[in-house]
Each structure stands twice: as C-alpha cells, then as structure tokens.
Amino acid sequence: MPDAVIVNAVRTPIGTAFRGSLTETPPEDLARIVLAEAVQRSQLDPAAFDDIVLAESNYGGGDLARHAAVEAGLTQVPGQAVNRHCAGSLTAVQVAAGAIHAGMDRVIVAGGVQSSSLNPVQRRRVVGTADDWIEDWASPAHPDTAEAPNRDMTITVGWNTAVEAGISREDMDAWAFRSHRRAVEAIDRGAFDDEIIPVRARQRDGSVKDFATDEHPRRSTSMDKLASLKPIHPEIEGFSITAGNSSGVNDAAATLTVVSSDVARAERLQPLATVRAWANVGAQPRLNGLAVIDCVHRVLGRARLRISDVALWEINEAFASVPIAACRALGIDEAIVNTSGSGCSLGHPVAASGARMLTTLTHELRRREGGYALATMCAAGGQAGAIVLEVH
C-alpha cells in the first residue's frame, strides 16, 4: 500500500471578513489561486491530477473544487465539495489520503476555501405555507436546544467548554494574548513566507491591493484591553466568552498536494510530510469543544503514538477554552501548541482552517528538523477531526 505524502502546502494570507483585504475576493477566486499555485509547485503534468477535494461551509451548495479546476485549465480533473464545517479541510485531506492508500488515485489537491465576507444569505419556506419564509435561514448541524444553540457557538462551544473544564476568563484571555504575540512574532520572522501566496485583491473602491500578510493579529492588544471587553452574553451569569478570546471571522483558502509515494519516487518529488493517521469523532452537541480530546486519543491510537511523541500541535482556537481544555486533559505542553498563533489571532476561515493548520505545521516542523505533528479541531454539530503527519 503506498503512503500518502504531501509535496506542497500553500495558502492565501488570512483576511478579516467584511472589513479586510479579501472582502471583495469571491471564494471562486480564492480557490483558483491556491489550486493554480499547488499545480505549479508540484511540477507535475496537469494530466497527472486525479481529483480536487475542497471543503466549503455555508455556501448553500455548489462545488468550488470543480469550478476552480475549470478556471485553472484542468478541465479533465473532477472536483469534490466536502463539508464538516470547521474540520472540513481536515476531512478533505483525509479523503485524499484514503483514496491514495486504496490505490484508486495517485495525485490529489485537497484543502478548503472560506469567504465569510461573501457568504450567501438563505431563506426557507415555512412548512405548510405557500409564501411564508424563514429569513436568514442556515442548515442546522444539530437539533437546537437551550444548552446547545445550533446558531450560537459562543454558548455551545466556548462557554460550555469553559464551564465543563473549569476554565476562567483570565485563563482564556491569557491564552488569546499569547496567541496574538506568537502570530505577530511568526509574521516578523518570516515564518509564513514559504506557505503564503500573495493575492492581488480588488478593494471596494475599485483599487487593487497586493495582499501578502495575515491581517487579523493585533500587535497592540494587551491583557488590559482583553479584560476590558464585554462578555457576549451578559445576561448569563458568569459568562466569560468575549470577542477577544474567540476566533475571528475570516476569509482565506489553503491546499495541500497529496500524492502516492510511488509517484513521488518516480517523479523525484521531495515529500514534505507523510499522512500517518486520521480520525473523526462525534459527541453530544453541548460538549462540542471537548470532542477534540477523544479525537486525539483515537488518532494517536491509530498512529501507534503517544502524546510525548508529538513535536508540534495545532489545536484550533475556535475559542480559547478549547485548546486550554485539551492541553489540561491530555497533559500537552502548551509551549508546543499553536506556536505561530491560531484562531484567536490569525483568524478562523472556517472551511480553510484545517488545511491552514496542516500547512503551517508542515513548514514550521521542517524548520525544526522534522518529527510528528498533530492537527485537531472541533466542528459544528458535536464532532471533531484530527490528522497526524510525519514531517520530513
């Protein structure tokens, strides 16, 4: 059985939704940009590509992967849309690795695309009526309850996790502050230079901007500023989730080119990493943020590794409470978790975040002479996904 190896990993810079640099860049353009770069960096004949698998979330259907293939001139390559919300692009890479392990495909581009700035607004007819409509409707990932609202993740994920794990407001603010410091330091030392594709981004006034640096991290933030932010639900006693210890709302795209180890040898491609294991789990929706704990146990069992074998971690900061809870429950050293920032600082372009995490882990761990890396994140509906890479 061939290994599934990653031969390139790229992403756009991350924009702040609605008021940032990518607000006027449609998701179709973001998909085309990362796909074209992935194909170019692979140095493979376009005819060698078997499939394109891209996660998307909240777009109401469609198939961005196929659209990007046609725009990029890869008319003969099919495209597949996947959706596991936050963990969607981890799932896309899992799909690619599985197809390669099975010997069905040999070269796949996998990742995700998110334009939160341009999410469509949907509506649905009220059952039993002719012309009554639910405005601003969104397809639910789980049944709505008071303890786990399906359209308010500040309660379902952020707050419930903090309460279950006994995490204080100060703990979450401190994690978020460190996330911003790490992201700014990573930008300043050029840690993202190898992974970011500069984007010629149209602006609302008609001008074009060269956008090449993640814009969401706040250089000027401080513990005092974070402490001054009001809780999102002041009507709930003790509520401690704020905009500061939550992830951003963002725009970006990221892909990894996953190929058979046989292809890598035949074409003399340099593998950056090997996909060693993956896993997904479900949980009660109200315990959504804690699902990553079970997912880590499952994926490490499949990889036959221990916590101590992992050199670098990415645990998505959908809310700061999630990685804090995971580190405490699993005994993970926070010094090797989200070392270049994460959702609270870099931002959380939902369908692209998993691929962004894998991309950053791959490039950062190669600078550290390799080892095992693990990316994990919770996802709407009460679930989580994870992937273990061996970085070369």
Catalytic positions are 86, 348, 378
The DSSP secondary-structure symbol of 341 reads B
How far is 267 from 175, CA to CA, in rounded Å?
44
Q: 307, 358, 297, 354: which is closest to 55 by C-alpha?
A: 354
In sequence order, what DSSP letters do the residues of 248-276 get, joined into one string? --EEEEEEEEEEEHHHHHHTT---SEEEE
Give, for 384, the enclosing helix (H) or strand (E). strand 383-391
The DSSP secondary-structure symbol of 379 reads E
Judge contact between 352 and 234, C-beta under 8 A.
no
**How many residues can be counted in the chain?**
392
Q: 74, 72, 52, 73: which is closest to 63 by C-alpha?
A: 52
Judge contact between 247 and 378, C-beta under 8 A.
no
Distances (CA, A) of 327 to 214, 331, 379: 26, 5, 18
Neighbours of 92 (CB within 10 A): 34
How far is 334 from 105, CA to CA, in rounded Å?
38
Give, for 202, the enclosing helix (H) or strand (E). strand 199-202
Distances (CA, A) of 371 to 110, 145, 189, 388: 22, 42, 22, 10
385: β partners: 280, 377
Judge contact between 354 and 88, C-beta under 8 A.
yes
Judge contact between 288 and 381, C-beta under 8 A.
yes
Give the amino acid at 63: D
In sequence order, what DSSP letters do the residues of 264-307 get, joined into one string? HHHTT---SEEEEEEEEEE--GGGGGGHHHHHHHHHHHHHT--G
